[in-house]
């Protein structure tokens, strides 16, 4: 079963002459353990796709299913619980709360979900340790480097029992080596069974995905075949 | 890729046998550049002829023959490391030519042609990335060699993206449209490319 499924999703903003069709009948399924990258030029609908997949916005038509359940059939409370419990978000600008330490930032979604403070803290520390940030747990965001802040954001996105990780340009303004460290963490989360979707215009970042989907004018224009590294190391003339 | 200088570099660490040189060459480049044993021996013979390496066991070929670098070879190696490769003359880029030609062929969807190449290059990048991901964390040679391929391919994607955006812009707002003309942007660009491509080596 797909963790995320979009069925013929369309999204229209505005009305009349100012109307913008951001998505036009997009269908996409992401299995547990898979990482899918969505590429496309500015205005192709990448970010809209991500906010709709994360139930932060409703489609104008079509269906979104997370863990097999249609979002349209859920009450506001059920959707809010799903967002807190099952979906992790990573944004380009990290979105960490400045007044909370790294550990508190990571534990926050669990606490909002009603998990006791002690238990949430333990889970938060475990997620930080997994990302090599155990010794940064008590630091505030402005005491961390850009790379560390993004790792905290990823820890917060994968803490607890999250099944779906949604990331918008997750390596943001990081240099290529720090950016690679971030995407390796996303890959590691996927290898533990999380379904991941990253939206990016960076082909190097997208090349970590199992599948790259190309959006154009709100439609899925194309997608890559599964990678086969063996073909590159085969003897014979090189490309 | 200069096999000659790569072999000199390996010999700068100390004397080695031919077979050992081949194995070490492949290991250092993350096995990204395969090398056959004949290539190793031919190159060693030339290096010896030029006085850049010396061998023991004169006259006999084979795996037991050891090689060492000469002072002349060490000097050649130091000079090569600091000599920039030829990046100045633009290569005759087949992909650029295909996209330029696509602009001129009636009924061709240029965006579609661009996407075919974009997908292919991204697939290549996925394969290289998988090789890097599967490599040992301490295999610096592999990471560097794969990064070089990824940056090269990434520049191709960026060019394709820019080409796509330019073609779209021109299609949305054709030059000369206001004057009633149907001038395409391509005629000026092809002859120029031909001239430029012609000066390559």
Mean pLDDT for each 10-residue chunk of chain A (239 residues)?
94 92 96 96 91 92 95 91 88 82 92 88 88 90 89 87 89 80 88 93 95 96 80 51
Q: Chain B: residue nearest A223 by CA? A: B119
Are B77 and B106 members of one domain?
no
Q: Which long-range contacts (CB under 8 A, 24 or more apart) does A49-53 make?
A: A49/A6, A49/A9, A49/A23, A49/A199, A49/A215, A50/A166, A50/A168, A50/A197, A50/A199, A52/A6, A52/A9, A52/A11, A52/A23, A53/A4, A53/A6, A53/A164, A53/A166, A53/A197
Of residues B32, B129, B164, nearest to A207 (C-beta): B129
Determine whether the interchain pair B161/A204 forms a contact, defined as Cβ–Cβ distance below 8 Å.
no
- Examine the domain organization and report whether B162 and B183 are in the same domain: yes
Domain boundary among B27, B57, B81: B81
Is B98 in the same domain as B185?
yes
- Domain of residue B127 covers 94-198
The mean pLDDT of B70-95, rounded to a whole number, is: 84
Do B127 and A231 lie within an 8 Å CB cutoff?
yes
Q: Please report, for chain A, the start and end positions of each structural domain, with discontinuous segments joined by +.
A: 2-95+163-224
**B151: in domain:** yes
Stated pTM of the model: 0.79
A contacts of B125 (beta carbons < 8 Å)? 203-204, 206-207
**B113, B168: one domain:** yes
- What pLDDT is recorded for position B133? 92
Residues B40 and B124 in one domain: no
Cα distance from B108 to chain A (closest Cα, Å)? 17
With CB atoms and an 8 Å threshold, state whether A204 touches B129: yes
B124:A232 CB<8 A: yes
What pLDDT is stored for residue B175 in this prediction?
75
Number of domains in chain B: 2
pLDDT of residue A154: 87
Between residues B94 and A3, which one has the greater pLDDT?
A3
B53 vs A: CB within 8 A: no
Per-residue model confidence (pLDDT) at position A174: 77
CB contact under 8 A, B126 and A221: no
A-B C-beta contacts closer than 8 Å: 72
Would B172 be classed as within a structural domain?
yes
**Looking at the domain that runs over A2-95+163-224, which CATH code has it been given?**
3.40.50.300
Q: How many CB atoms lie within 10 A of CB B152?
A: 12
pLDDT tens-digit readout, B29-65: 766 677 777 888 899 999 999 999 998 865 556 667 8
Instruction: Report yes or no: B157 and B114 within 8 Å, Cβ to Cβ.
Output: no
Task: Indicate whether B25 and B108 sit together in one domain.
Answer: no
The predicted pLDDT at position B60 comes to 58
B119 and B189 part of one domain: yes
Q: What per-residue confidence (pLDDT) applies to B187?
A: 45
Same domain, yes or no, for B103 and B65?
A: no
> Are B148 and B121 members of one domain?
yes
Of the residues A177, A180, A203, the best mutation for testing chain B's interface (the one with the most B CB atoms within 10 Å of its CB) is: A203
Stretch B60-74: mean pLDDT: 83
Residue that finishes a domain, picked among B57, B81, B105: B81
Domain presence at residue B87: no
What's the ipTM? 0.85
Q: Do B138 and B179 belong to one domain?
A: yes
The mean pLDDT of chain B is: 82
CA angle A215, B125, B112 (to 5 degrees): 40
Tell me which residue in B32, B123, B161 faces A227 most closely, judged by beta carbons.
B123
| Exposed/middle/buried for residue B74 (C-beta within 10 Å: 0-12, 13-18, 19+) | middle
Contacts of B160 (CB under 8 A, 6+ apart): B95, B99, B114, B117, B118, B121
| Residue B183 pLDDT exceeds 70 | no
> Dihedral, CA atoms, B192, B193, B195, B200, nearest 10 degrees?
150
Mark whether B102 and B158 lie in a shared domain.
Answer: yes
Pairing of strands A164-168, A195-199: parallel
* Domain assignment of residue B88, yes or no: no
What per-residue confidence (pLDDT) applies to B178?
54
């Amino acid at each position: 079963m797909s963790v995320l499924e979009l069925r013929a999703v369309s999204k229209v903003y505005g009305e009349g002459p100012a109307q913008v069709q951001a998505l036009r009948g997009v269908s996409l399924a992401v299995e547990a353990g898979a990482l899918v990258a969505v590429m496309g030029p500015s205005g192709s609908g990448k970010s809209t796709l991500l906010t709709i997949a994360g139930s932060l916005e409703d489609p104008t038509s079509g269906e979104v299913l997370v863990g097999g359940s249609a979002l349209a059939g859920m009450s506001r409370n059920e959707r809010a619980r799903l967002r807190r419990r099952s979906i992790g978000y990573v944004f380009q600008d990290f979105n960490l709360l400045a007044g909370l330490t790294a550990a508190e930032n990571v534990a926050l979604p669990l606490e909002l979900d009603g998990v006791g403070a002690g238990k949430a803290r333990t889970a938060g520390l475990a997620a930080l340790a997994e990302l090599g940030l155990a010794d940064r747990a008590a630091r505030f965001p402005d005491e961390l480097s850009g790379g560390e802040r993004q790792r905290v954001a990823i820890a917060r996105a994968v803490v607890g029992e999250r099944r779906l990780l949604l990331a918008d340009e997750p390596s943001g303004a990081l240099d290529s080596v720090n950016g690679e460290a971030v995407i390796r963490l996303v890959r590691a989360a996927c290898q533990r069974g999380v379904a991941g979707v990253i939206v990016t215009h960076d082909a190097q970042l997208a090349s970590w995905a199992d599948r790259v989907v190309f959006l154009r004018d709100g439609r899925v224009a194309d997608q890559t075949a599964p990678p086969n590294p063996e073909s590159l190391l085969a003897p014979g003339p090189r490309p | 890729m200069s096999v000659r200088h790569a072999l000199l570099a390996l010999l700068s660490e100390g004397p080695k046998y031919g077979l050992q040189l081949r194995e070490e060459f492949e290991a250092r480049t993350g096995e990204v550049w395969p090398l056959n044993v004949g290539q190793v021996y031919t190159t060693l013979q030339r290096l010896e002829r030029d006085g850049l390496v010396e061998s023991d066991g004169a006259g006999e070929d084979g795996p037991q023959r050891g090689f060492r670098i000469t002072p002349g070879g060490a000097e050649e190696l130091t000079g090569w490391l600091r000599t920039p490769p030829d990046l100045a003359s633009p290569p005759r880029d087949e992909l650029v030519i295909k996209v330029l030609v696509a602009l001129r062929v009636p009924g061709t969807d240029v965006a579609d042609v661009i996407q075919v190449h974009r997908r292919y290059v991204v697939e290549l990048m996925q394969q290289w990335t998988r090789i890097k991901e599967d490599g040992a964390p301490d295999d610096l040679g592999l990471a560097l060699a794969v990064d070089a391929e990824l940056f090269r391919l990434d520049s191709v994607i960026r060019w394709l993206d820019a080409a796509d955006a330019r073609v779209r812009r021109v299609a949305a707002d054709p030059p000369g449209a206001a004057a009633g003309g149907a001038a395409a942007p391509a005629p000026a660009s092809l002859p120029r490319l031909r001239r430029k491509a012609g000066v390559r080596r």
